[in-house]
Structures are given as C-alpha cells and as structure tokens.
Structure 1
Amino acid sequence: MAKRLIPTLNRVLVEKIVPPSKTSAGILLPEKSPQLNSGKVIAVGPGLRDKEGKVIPVGVKEGDTVLLPEYGGSQIKLDDKEYHLYRDEDILGTLHD
C-alpha cells in the first residue's frame, strides 16, 4: 500500500530532480557541471489563513517544476522514495520550458 502525504498549511512536498550521471550513449558527465537545484511538486497544502480567516493559497501546484534553495527543507522518506518538504515562501520560482 502506497502512503500519501498531504502537507499542512503552506507546505509543499517536492521530489528533487537528479540529473543523469551519464548520457544515453554511455558518456559519463562530470559532477561539477552546472546544475539547477530543482524538483517536481508532488503535493501542496491548502495554504495559510490571514487575520480575517481567508485562505491564502500556495503559489505552486502539483506537477510544477520548481527551483529550490541550496539548503533547507525537511527530508522525508515514503515507500523507499526520498522527498523534501518546503514552505511555499522558501521556493525560489517555477521553471517552464
């Protein structure tokens, strides 16, 4: 049975994107090549409430590719997969093709 985590408040569950270590032709890529610290949004919380009680929604949605800070987030392991929880305001932006 697969577990599903639904974040609380303004938290975002992200699966980090790990760049390939070699090409499809088998050429090894150097580890020091420039890489974006990015991830795919798996789940989002409902958002925070303001002073009037209105919900302020999270700025990203499931399926978005996001730019992440170098440090931060909480590491979580579910069904042998590694995920990270970030607050909405810690996510640096969304990436588009």
Structure 2
Amino acid sequence: MSPKIYPVYPSALRSIRNLAPLLDRVLVQRVKAEAKTASGLYLPESSVEKLNEAKVLAVGPGGLDRDGKRIPMGVAVGDRVLLPAFGGAAVKAGEEEYQLFRDSEILAKINE
C-alpha cells in the first residue's frame, strides 16, 4: 500500500521551500540509497531499496493541547529521522519527492 502522491503544480508552488507545514506536521525528504556497490558496480534502480531514513526540511509550529498551549515539536530542521515503512502524505515538486508526517508518526531521531 503506497501513499497517494499529490502533484504540486509549478504555478501553485515554485519551490518546496515555499511549503510551510501546519500544526504538528513535518516535511521530510528520504535519503537515497547508494546505487553503486563497494566494488564500483552500478545497480539498476529496481534493485535499490528505499531507506526509512530522511532529512527534516521544515516543521510546523506544533499542535495544541486542551488548554490551547503549543506542544513543542520533537524534531527540528536539519535533523535526520527514522520513518515508518508506510504512511505520510507524498508531495511531488518538480522531479523531487517529499513527504509530510505528523510529529508523532516519526519513529526516532538519528544522532550522529
């Protein structure tokens, strides 16, 4: 079950930088797997696995609790995160694909 892709038209959104997530949503771009082996052979695109690692590009201001106070986000721009295998809303801008997740759907932050 793959996520539904919502195309972003150039007239509506010139750059993904103009996309601002709302509430507790996080905009990420998946890290691409190496298409080259250690010995220098290039693998066909069909044999390269999709990684569950992504880089956070933008975060919303955070959700609201019952009292109307902001709940702080668990991730920040530039963080590397671990994503679930399924879920999120796919967004395509130009040739690049991005995904929107809720903060609570992100599995972990990868510390270096």
CA deviation profile, 1:17-51 (whole Å, cap 9, x unmatched): 01111047623469478x75110000000011111
Gaps of 5+ in 1: none
In structure 1, how many angstroms separate the alpha carbons of the residues matched to 2:43 and 2:95? 26
Gaps of 5+ in 2: 1-13
Partner of 1:96: 111
The count of corresponding residues between Structure 1 and Structure 2 is 96
In structure 2, how many angstroms separate the alpha carbons of the residues matched to 1:54 and 1:76? 29
Structure with more of its chain in helix, by fraction: 2
Structure with more of its chain in strand, by fraction: 1
State whether structure 2 residue 96 is matched by structure 1 residue 81.
yes
CA deviation profile, 1:41-86 (whole Å, cap 9, x unmatched): 0000001111111100211000000000000000001233210000
TM-score of the superposition, structure 2-length normalised? 0.75
- Percent identity, aligned pairs only, is 46
In structure 2, how many angstroms separate the alpha carbons of the residues matched to 1:68 and 1:84? 10
CA deviation profile, 1:4-26 (whole Å, cap 9, x unmatched): 21100100000000111104762
Specify the SS of the correspondent of 1:89. Answer: helix
> Which residue of 10, 15, 18 maps to 1:2?
15
TM-score of the superposition, structure 1-length normalised? 0.85
In structure 2, how many angstroms separate the alpha carbons of the residues matched to 1:96 and 1:29? 29
In structure 2, how many angstroms separate the alpha carbons of the residues matched to 1:77 and 1:29? 24
